[in-house]
Amino acid sequence: MKIALDAMGGDHAPSVNIEGALETIKEHDDIDVILVGDEDRIKSGLSSRRYDQGRISITHASQVVEMHESPSLAIRKKKDSSIRIGIGLVKSGAADAFVSAGHSGVVMATSLLMLGKSEGVDRPAIATLMPTIKDNFLMLDVGANVDCKPLNLLQFAIMGSTYCRLILGRAAPKVALLSIGEEDIKGNELTKEAFKLLKETRLNFTGNVEGKDIFTGRADVVVCDGFTGNIALKISEGLAETILKMLKREITSVSTGRIAYMLLKPAIRNFKKKTDYDEYGGAPLLGINGTSIISHGRSSSKAIKNALRVAADYASKRVYEAIAAEIKSDPHFRRT
Amino acid sequence: MKIALDAMGGDHAPSVNIEGALETIKEHDDIDVILVGDEDRIKSGLSSRRYDQGRISITHASQVVEMHESPSLAIRKKKDSSIRIGIGLVKSGAADAFVSAGHSGVVMATSLLMLGKSEGVDRPAIATLMPTIKDNFLMLDVGANVDCKPLNLLQFAIMGSTYCRLILGRAAPKVALLSIGEEDIKGNELTKEAFKLLKETRLNFTGNVEGKDIFTGRADVVVCDGFTGNIALKISEGLAETILKMLKREITSVSTGRIAYMLLKPAIRNFKKKTDYDEYGGAPLLGINGTSIISHGRSSSKAIKNALRVAADYASKRVYEAIAAEIKSDPHFRRT
């Protein structure tokens, strides 16, 4: 399995990206990596390292999309960006999958443009794994589609459930709709209509879930529009950081706190590990006709490695084809 | 100042409500309380207590609205509920304000029905205070209006800013729009339109704020539709609880953790105090033509006391009239 990795994407590129590629070929016999980006910089990053040169190759791309760029401009003007060249490798068959920690909007739009949608999919979505007190759950959409129709949410549910089954190995994923009350009459116009559609599917639909309950592990897949999902995701990240900062401040301000904080370090490390996006291996673009995985902008080499692992699984299990098959078999889409 | 308190609303009613009333008259010379609800139960709750009987009175209400009831049914069928009787006291002038830890939807709908809207207000909103790393901010709407128009968000901004100025004493509150990116082009149809409107006001509008930044104290007032706001609020509550549980589990599972946890107790207590809704004195219904404050369903006596304090300030400063004046003076509403 050959995976094209955007060597230039992310806050710590290309060093952590190169490191992630090296760790990957060491740990995973089935994954070879194509580093896509500035050839000189990648070569210099690799120069002092010992690795199996048959398993890491370089494809040059002269441009880099910066995080603050407008997606439409970047796509029009940067035809030789590492994102575009990398996705091109998937399109031509030279790579089985693409991974980037770069500009998620540009990765999404370029994937859509070059690879197209899985058959029957109306709107691809960005999914992300979030921790719960027991395990984790998949939330989607978290930003690709800010204004949605009820049928979009239904497709997100089908796509998320398929991913959860094939990649996370959960037999009958519990699917819930993010809303403001558990009863079917609670919600906005969008979720109330989506609820009716979801009831009629073969999915293991468990109804609405409220914001306060998503972290208790009540659902494997939480479905929402991309505006709500992005806000939910960012609030969770921001609050987790804030709570740890506030706790640390409180802890070190009481007399016994400094000792306690020292004693606590292993516990805080464990906690961070469980809640860290590094562990989760990136956010898949569901509904794209191919494998394109977004990794967090702040990705470490471990996050890159985990994203490459997910990309390999996604490609080998042909999740994008399974999604097309599931959507095709749903009565709402068979009729139309 | 006389405040009608729903003695029957909340998870621990009527005992904590009665306790909150007793603490209030002890601490605040300017507040007398009318306990509204089942007279026998209230009398028995007060019977063993010593207090100034001239400052706590009882108004009987034979019915209680349960938390799970449908607002429309409860309003139609329970004409003698403690919520309705309490708000009736404000309407008749027998009380200056109403406070309830009961069913927030019913309190909102009944307040709207009986007290009406402040002049010029299209949709009243539920506002709530949330902690930041430095201080706190007001978020609205958090549940009264699940589907909003841009002009509604503009009014929420004006109402929130007025509250923040008069009740929290901040001279020029920074107002931000909750969205998925800082640039004005980021957001859904609703927020992009609302952004344009907000730019043209006299408000201290600081642009979009992302979910990850709301807890850093970048804004005094965060504006959003009631669906997004409710989810943001509930996710914050759920995540904060989950993080503390997970941390506790991690802490007590490492060998040095139990000792550390003991040493930490004062710090955790301080942290909880800073993030606890008990401290914040309830969520005002902004845009109602009168004073009606919702306290959290899980309110302690201290939360009730703080809500009574906020209600007294709100009524004495006639915030509902100030809101009408502010809306009247905004060019968007003067024209229409």
- Predicted TM-score (pTM) of this structure: 0.91
- Alpha carbon of residue A201 to chain centroid: 25
Verify that A272 and A292 share a domain, yes or no: no
Instruction: Verify whether the Cβ–Cβ distance A239 to B234 is below 8 Å.
Output: no
Verify that B168 and B296 share a domain, yes or no: no
Q: Is A207 left (phi over 0), alpha (psi -120 to 50) or beta?
A: left
User: Looking at the 3D structure of chain A, how many domains does it have?
Assistant: 2
Verify that A185 and A259 share a domain, yes or no: yes
Domain-located, residue A334: no
For residue A336, pLDDT over 70 is answered with no
Domain-located, residue A108: yes
Instruction: Verify whether the Cβ–Cβ distance B234 to A253 is below 8 Å.
Output: no
A60 burial via Cβ count (<10 Å: 0-12, 13-18, 19+): middle
pLDDT in tens, B44-72: 999 999 999 999 999 999 999 998 888 88
- Residue A182 φ/ψ, nearest 5 degrees: -80, -30
Q: Is A143 left (phi over 0), alpha (psi -120 to 50) or beta?
A: left
Verify that A208 and A103 share a domain, yes or no: no
For residue A50, pLDDT over 70 is answered with yes
Mean pLDDT of chain A: 92
Strands (E), chain A: 2-6, 32-37, 56-60, 97-100, 125-131, 136-140, 174-179, 204-210, 221-223, 283-286, 292-294
- What number is the average pLDDT over the span A206-225? 95
- pLDDT of res. B271: 72
Instruction: Verify whether the Cβ–Cβ distance A188 to B147 is below 8 Å.
Output: yes
Give, in order, the Cα–Cα distances in Å from B268 to each of A263, A266, B135, B234, B252. 15, 18, 17, 21, 14
- What number is the average pLDDT over the span A141-170? 96
Partners of B257 on chain A (C-beta within 8 Å) are 263-264, 266-267
The residue of chain B with its CA nearest to that of A178 is B231
ipTM score of complex = 0.89
Q: Which residues of B80-116 are buried (b: 16+ CB within 10 A; e: fewer)?
A: ebbbbbbbbbbbeeebbbbbbbbbbbbbbbbbbebbe
Mutate to test the interface with B, among A123, A218, A243 (most CBs of B within 10 A): A243
Domain-located, residue B281: no
Partners of A232 on chain B (C-beta within 8 Å) are 211, 231-232, 235
Instruction: Verify whether the Cβ–Cβ distance A227 to B266 is below 8 Å.
Output: no
Verify that A98 and A57 share a domain, yes or no: yes
Verify that A178 and A247 share a domain, yes or no: yes
Write out chain B's pLDDT in tens, 336 residues: 999 999 999 999 999 999 999 999 999 999 999 999 999 999 999 999 999 999 999 999 999 999 888 888 999 999 999 999 999 999 999 999 999 999 989 999 999 999 999 999 999 999 999 888 888 999 999 999 999 999 999 999 999 999 999 999 999 999 999 999 888 888 999 999 999 999 999 999 999 999 999 999 899 999 999 999 999 999 998 888 888 888 777 777 776 767 777 777 777 777 777 666 666 778 899 999 999 999 988 889 999 999 999 999 999 999 999 999 999 999 888 654
- pLDDT of res. A231: 96
Domain that holds residue B162: 122-276
Verify that A131 and A273 share a domain, yes or no: yes
Partners of B143 on chain A (C-beta within 8 Å) are 180
Of A215, A260, A267, the CB nearest to B254: A267
